[in-house]
Structure 1
Amino acid sequence: MNKYISILAISISLISTIAFASDDKFDYENFVKQYHQAMTNTQQPGVSKEDLEIYLSFLTDDVGNQHFPNAPDDSREPDGKKLMREGMSRYLGVHTDYKAKILEYIVGYNSIALKHTFSATGLRSDGSEFSYSKVVLDVLELENGKVSVIRRYGK
């Protein structure tokens, strides 16, 4: 029940954030918190397809995604969101533990530089375990209140 309340709260907040985006008073702080929470939710144990759709609702349909070293091209594609849905769906539910935290962010005109940390443990499809911890910088370009390009920099 609490999960559905959380989903409803995020959805209502997203609608209000998008409404701000049509004004000159875009609420970057609120957007960063909501975006990061939605992204974090997609990595949690017990994640659902609804969690993924909430995250994807922050993105334009033609979102570009640059993620070094795996995806060095930041080109926006007409089916960018669809491609992200397919790619992220392969990994839903693989984590047994996931923690994330915003370290800092800076906003510019239609852009956000978001420095955050995350750590995870989980199981691969072959049953072997994995764990990792990273600090990354995501540079987000916004268009009409949604993320149009994601550039992830990290080791």
Structure 2
Amino acid sequence: MKLIYSILLTCLVSFASVAEEVNQELKQLAQDYFQVMVASQAPSATNKELEAYLALLTDDVGHQHLPYEVDDRRLPDGKESMRKGMMYYLGAHTEYQAKLLNTFIFNDSAIAIRYQHSAKGIHPDNNQAIAYTSVIMEVLEVEEGKVARIRKYHE
């Protein structure tokens, strides 16, 4: 009987340590994602910062940003579409700052980050001044250590 209890206890400790390791990896991915995302929005951002952000994504990443982008399907050119969109807005901000408010980890497949950000700049479509402050929740679905789907929600 003692042998059975010992085996069960060993299994539980093993599972707990594996779960904690995965949890730490996801926490680190959340931190890395937030840092490179903020850097990609900075007034001084270049292609280097965009590529650092894109490196965290799968090639077929899906992206939804309601109400602007409603389709979250994963397509083979998902990363390339994001690159194209981000390049269009590169340098539009004259000021940008963000503060991470919360990080949530969901089992081994999802992260949610909640942050407040504010920006000023010139919109590239109409050359009008923009200024905003908002709280965003990004839910990131993770596969094999990379972000496979991004869903953005405004508070």
Amino acid corresponding to residue 72 of structure 2 in structure 1: D
- Percent identical among aligned pairs is 41
Aligned residues between the structures: 133
What is the Cα deviation at residue 124 of structure 1?
2.9
Structure 1 gap ranges (5+) = 1-22
The structure whose residues are more often helix, as a share, is: 2
Spell out, residue by residue over 1:110-140, the C-alpha distance to the aligned partner (whole angstroms, 9 max, x if none). Answer: 1011111100001234543210011011110
Separation (CA, whole Å) in 2 of partners of 1:127 and 1:67: 22
CA deviation after TM superposition for structure 1 residue 55, in Å: 0.1
Alignment of 1:96-115 (within 5 A): 96-109=94-107, 110-115=109-114
Question: Structure 1 counterpart of 2:112, which letter?
Answer: A
Specify the alignment match of 1:45 in structure 2. 43
Q: Aligned-pair RMSD on alpha carbons?
A: 1.5
Q: Give the match for residue 135 of structure 1.
A: 135
TM-score, normalised by the number of residues in structure 2: 0.81
1:27-66 correspondence runs (5 A) = 27-66=25-64
Which amino acid in structure 2 is aligned with residue 116 of structure 1? Y
Q: CA deviation at 1:46?
A: 1.4
SS at match of 2:64: strand
For the pair shown, the structure with the greater C-alpha radius of gyration is 2
Distance 1:124 1:61 in 2: 28
